[in-house]
């Protein structure tokens, strides 16, 4: 008896069904992607995209996809590569919604709601915290008042040198002296704590064995060394004069004499008159009134002045002044000091 041939119809129907399912899926995903690209039939979800200088193109795509602004980071990246192959992402914050088309997102990414564009900012040697705060505000980095608020405390900063800062209400700005002066690339509209941390990092990187040796040999903390350096910074006109000025101040400290540095008056005055600090704080910084070093640093010094202080020469000098020609003169006692002032007019 002959075998009956199996019908091919079920297999054909199965294949047809699979093709229909595949076609439907392709059509579905094509429609979904097309709608996503065109911003149609999308949700009203919102998201603030933050682009930092360390972000690459694919990371931007991942942020958009993970927060449902685009359906896929791969689709977004391919679309951008085809439409804007030379696109440059700008650091900043962007408020967007899922209903935006890719074209609208691309346009948005050229106009941040809050810019974090990198700005080259120069902090000169000898600049104090108040002056740094003004520089930062003028360059759109952060508010001066917010930066100064951060400078009042060491809390939250993990640096060994800051552990040497006394817990005293007489210290106006506890980060003063450690905000290393240099040229930085700061992002606009940054958190002031982040800015302070960059400057503290720069200081930390420049701590030398000579600085630590000086502290050990002279029974000083790093805070006290930097306080001394800051006064020398403001008095000196360069590294050469700084060495002898440091010698004068070290000799006075060893004798238990007051430093009597005029530059501490100006800093103390500004704290009291312009920034609302008390008379007690003023007195603690003004070295004609307080014994020894002022309550804290009065400026932020560069490495050259630090080196001049830690390598100061051994002298008998106890007095100095600069004449009208900006030349410095040093004396071992008060009588010699008076005679030099008569010989070299100073005011």
Tokens of 313: 């020469």
Model pLDDT, residue 134: 98
225-234, pLDDT tens digit by residue? 999 999 999 9
* Domains by residue range for the chain, with CATH: 46-116 (3.30.1490.480), 118-205 (3.30.1490), 209-343 (no CATH)
Q: Among 343, 345, 120, 131, which Cα is nearest to 233's?
A: 131
**Phi, psi for residue 233 in degrees, rounded to 5:** -55, -45
Is residue 342's pLDDT more than 80? yes
CA–CA separation, 65 and 76 (whole Å): 8
Model pLDDT, residue 253: 96
Model pLDDT, residue 27: 53
Answer for the pair 51, 60: CB distance below 8 angstroms, yes or no: yes
In this predicted model, which residue has the larger pLDDT, 185 or 33?
185
CA–CA separation, 137 and 71 (whole Å): 39
Percent of all residues in the chain with a pLDDT value above 90, rounded to a whole number:
65
Dihedral sign, CA of 205, 206, 208, 211? negative
Could you give the C-alpha distances from 327 to 39, 85, 227, 248, 289, in angstroms and in order? 72, 61, 24, 16, 27
95-136, pLDDT tens digit by residue? 999 898 889 999 999 989 988 888 999 999 999 999 999 999
pLDDT band of 55, cuts 50, 70, 90: confident
Of 72-86, 283-297, 318-332, the range with the highest mean pLDDT is 283-297
122-181, pLDDT tens digit by residue? 999 999 999 999 999 999 999 999 999 999 999 999 999 999 999 999 999 999 999 999
What contacts 24+ positions apart, CB below 8 Å, involve 97-100?
97/44, 97/45, 97/46, 97/47, 97/69, 98/42, 98/43, 98/44, 98/45, 98/46, 98/47, 98/68, 98/69, 99/39, 99/42, 99/43, 99/44, 100/39, 100/69
243-268, pLDDT tens digit by residue? 999 999 999 999 999 999 999 999 99
3-class SS of residue 94: strand
* Average pLDDT score over residue span 39-63: 84
Tokens of 69: 């602004």
Percent of all residues in the chain with a pLDDT value above 70, rounded to a whole number:
92
Q: For the chain, what is the mean pLDDT?
A: 90
* Average pLDDT score over residue span 296-301: 97
Residue matched to tokens 């700008």? 90
Phi-psi label, residue 126: left if phi above 0, alpha if psi -120 to 50, beta otherwise:
left
CA–CA separation, 10 and 341 (whole Å): 116
Q: Which pTM was predicted?
A: 0.82
In this predicted model, which residue has the larger pLDDT, 109 or 29?
109
Model pLDDT, residue 284: 97
């Amino acid at each position: 008896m002959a075998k009956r041939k199996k019908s091919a119809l079920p297999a054909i129907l199965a294949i047809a069904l699979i093709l229909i399912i595949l076609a439907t899926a392709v059509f579905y995903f094509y429609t979904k992607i097309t709608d996503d690209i065109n911003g149609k039939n999308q949700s009203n979800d919102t998201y603030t995209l933050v682009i930092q200088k360390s972000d690459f193109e694919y990371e931007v795509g991942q942020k958009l996809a993970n927060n449902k602004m685009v359906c896929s980071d791969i689709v977004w990246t391919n679309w951008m590569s085809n439409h804007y192959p030379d696109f440059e992402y700008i650091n900043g914050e962007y408020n967007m919604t899922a209903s935006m088309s890719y074209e609208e997102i691309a346009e948005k990414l050229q106009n941040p709601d809050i810019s974090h564009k990198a700005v080259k900012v120069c902090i000169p040697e000898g600049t104090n915290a108040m002056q740094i705060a003004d520089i930062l505000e003028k360059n759109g980095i952060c508010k001066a008042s917010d930066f100064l608020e951060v400078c009042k405390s060491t809390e939250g900063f993990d640096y060994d040198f800051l552990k040497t800062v006394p817990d005293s209400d007489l210290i106006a700005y506890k980060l003063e002296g450690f905000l290393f002066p240099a040229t930085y690339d700061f992002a606009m509209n940054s958190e002031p704590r982040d800015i302070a941390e960059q400057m503290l990092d720069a200081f930390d990187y420049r701590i030398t064995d000579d600085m630590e040796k000086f502290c050990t040999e002279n029974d000083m903390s790093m805070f006290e060394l930097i306080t001394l350096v800051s006064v020398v910074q403001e008095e000196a006109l360069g590294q050469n004069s700084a060495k002898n000025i440091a010698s004068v101040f070290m000799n006075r400290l060893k004798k238990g004499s007051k430093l009597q540095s005029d530059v501490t008056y100006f800093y103390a005055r500004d704290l009291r008159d312009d920034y609302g600090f008390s008379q007690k704080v003023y007195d603690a910084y003004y070295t004609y009134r307080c014994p020894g070093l002022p309550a804290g640093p009065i400026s932020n010094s560069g490495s050259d002045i630090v080196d001049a202080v830690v390598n100061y020469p051994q002298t008998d000098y106890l007095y100095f002044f600069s004449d009208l020609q900006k030349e410095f003169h040093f004396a071992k006692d008060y009588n010699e000091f008076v005679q030099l002032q008569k010989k070299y007019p100073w005011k």
